[in-house]
Amino acid sequence: MAANSAGLQILPKSFGPEYGAGNAVEVCGNEIKIHGPSERDSVLASLYNEYPNMIVVDYTLPTLVNDNADLYCKVGVPFVMGTTGGDRDRLYKTVDDSKVYAVISPQMGRQVVAFLAAMDMMAKQFPGAFSGYSLHVESHQAAKLDTSATAKAVISCFKKLGVSFDDQIEMIRDPKEQKELVGVPDEYLSGHAFQFYYLSSPGKTVSLEFQHNVCGRSIYAEGAIDAVLFLAEKIQSKADKRIYNIIDILREGNK
């Protein structure tokens, strides 16, 4: 819906596991044919040749991040990578070496990224401000395979602020607990991301709580479309910089 609302053309092909090859899914009235791993090289190259202005949006699995990026860079197609995980150093090197345009961000929700940016600024301006404080983190997400990249980024900021943390995130993935413990609405049990950060002073006399809760996936879809439009402008203007993130998009949006 986000792509249609932005006036973008959704191309009728996507990639999936081999057992789903040949099937089709309907997205906003568009029939999308699924191609398996054995077809993806030739299909992507052919599609890019037919649609030279195309941009790939990748929301797949952590285990596929690097292989997918290798393919996009091999073909030369620009892409938006919203998938978390993978070898991030290798990912950035692959894209940098290929000179392909890309937006890479494990968090596509612009408002959540703005919160992360604020946390980073606080950590840089007030290092050690929470020295001695302890941190407990809860991550409630639907069927997520890896640890929340957003939670890890927030924790990194807290550590710079002097907070003591043992790197143990309580990851709650059971829908029953998600509903009963934090009140995730029934209709969003299959798609949500609730993160809680509890800070406590050494004597437990002072406590602070931070949280960011997302129901559904529209915030990520809208962020991905913003990234596509942003990247299209950079490609058209032949910008020297090739790799961007959501912070870059936020900054330009405020000019």
252: helix, strand or coil: helix
Tokens for 202, please give them.
């050494």
| Mean pLDDT, rounded, for 68-83 | 97
The Cα angle at residue 98 between residues 231 and 40, in degrees rounded to 5 = 80
Q: Is residue 63 within 8 Å of residue 37, measured between CB atoms?
A: no
pLDDT at 252 > cutoff 80:
yes
Q: Is 91 exposed, middle or buried (0-12, 13-18, 19+ CB in 10 A)?
A: buried
pTM of the model: 0.83
In the block, which residue shows the tokens 């946390």? 119
Q: pLDDT tens digits for 16-53?
A: 888 888 899 888 788 999 999 999 999 999 999 999 99
Residues belonging to the active site: 140, 144
The pLDDT confidence band at residue 143, using thresholds 50, 70 and 90, is low
Percent above pLDDT 70 for the chain: 97
Helix 110-125 with 246-253: angle, nearest 10 deg: 90
d(C-alpha 153, C-alpha 141), whole Å: 16
Q: pLDDT tens digits for 161-190?
A: 999 898 788 888 888 888 888 888 999 988
CA atoms within 13 Å, Cβ hemisphere of 158? 25
